[in-house]
Amino acid sequence: MPKRKRKSRNASASEVGVEDDVLLRATAPLQLCYYGNPVLRKRAKPVAEITEAERQLAVQMLETLYATGNGIGLAATQVGILKRLIIIDIGEDDDDTYEPLVLFNPEILRTEGDVVAEEGCLSIPNVTAEVRRPEKIVVAGMDIQGESVHIETDGLLARVLQHEIDHLNGVLFIDRISGLKRQLLRDELLWIQQAERPA
Ligand code: NI
């Protein structure tokens, strides 16, 4: 059996579907915001028009995601920017046509069923919990070109979409677990919160 190909983890303009005449500069990863940072509790604003600045932000967010080494999704809120933009790369390495997902103004139109699965968050390092969420969802939004996108999905993609859309509303996955379970994570959460606070 052939070895699974490892896709290169660099966000390039072509990979996210930006036309060749749009020049995107290579930039350093953005600074992640961690639990305890008040920005994570704010509601992000809709993006009225996708300009080069928004496309640039999407590419920078992908770079930031790949720099983490293990992340599969990021909301603009997590880099301190209150715009309704999420990016997802769940790494379908065996599919040559696979592209990371860039979604502006994502909105959940329909949900069906429910399922429990483990989640973590780049803004809450080393904390995981089982979270119950709808199993199938229909999401609408705009891609990096400003075209309407309609996604009907389940499984990991449905979960990551819901997790990232939650971020745009100031909601964290730990808000969706029982008080008792959250109590068990209290020390870890306090530790992250104190590390985030300016000295
Ligand atoms: Ni998260």
Clarify whether 164 is annotated catalytic: yes
In a domain, 4, yes or no: no
pLDDT at 24: 55
Of 68, 113, 109, 110, the residue nearest 87 (C-alpha): 68
SS3 content of the chain, % helix, strand, coil (to 5): 30, 25, 45
In a domain, 122, yes or no: yes
pLDDT interval class at 112 (50, 70, 90): very high
Task: Give residue 74 CA to ligand 1 midpoint distance, Å.
Answer: 7
In a domain, 157, yes or no: yes
Work out the percent of the chain whose per-residue pLDDT is above 70: 82
- Is 61:85 a contact under the CB 8 Å cutoff? yes
For the stretch 48-58, pLDDT in tens is 999 999 999 99
Angle at 76 between CA 16 and CA 107, to 5 degrees: 80
Rounded Cα–Cα distance for residues 88 and 46 (Å): 18
In a domain, 146, yes or no: yes
In a domain, 10, yes or no: no
Of the listed 15, 49, 164, 196, which one is catalytic?
164
Q: State the amino acid at position 3 in one-letter form.
A: K
Give the strand pairing for 73-75 and 148-153: unpaired
The pTM for the full model equals 0.86
In a domain, 23, yes or no: yes
For the stretch 129-146, pLDDT in tens is 999 999 999 999 999 999
Task: Give residue 105 CA to ligand 1 midpoint distance, Å.
Answer: 17
Q: Name residues whose C-beta falls within 8 Å of residue 167's C-beta, 6 or more positions apart in sequence.
A: 40, 44, 75, 77, 78, 86, 123
Number of domains, the chain: 1
Show the domain range for 118.
Answer: 18-193
Task: Give residue 163 CA to ligand 1 midpoint distance, Å.
Answer: 6
The predicted model gives 149-174 an average pLDDT of 97
In a domain, 47, yes or no: yes
pLDDT at 10: 56
CATH code at 67?
3.90.45.10
Task: Give residue 14 CA to ligand 1 midpoint distance, Å.
Answer: 26
In a domain, 5, yes or no: no
For the stretch 57-102, pLDDT in tens is 999 999 999 999 999 999 999 999 999 999 999 987 667 777 899 9
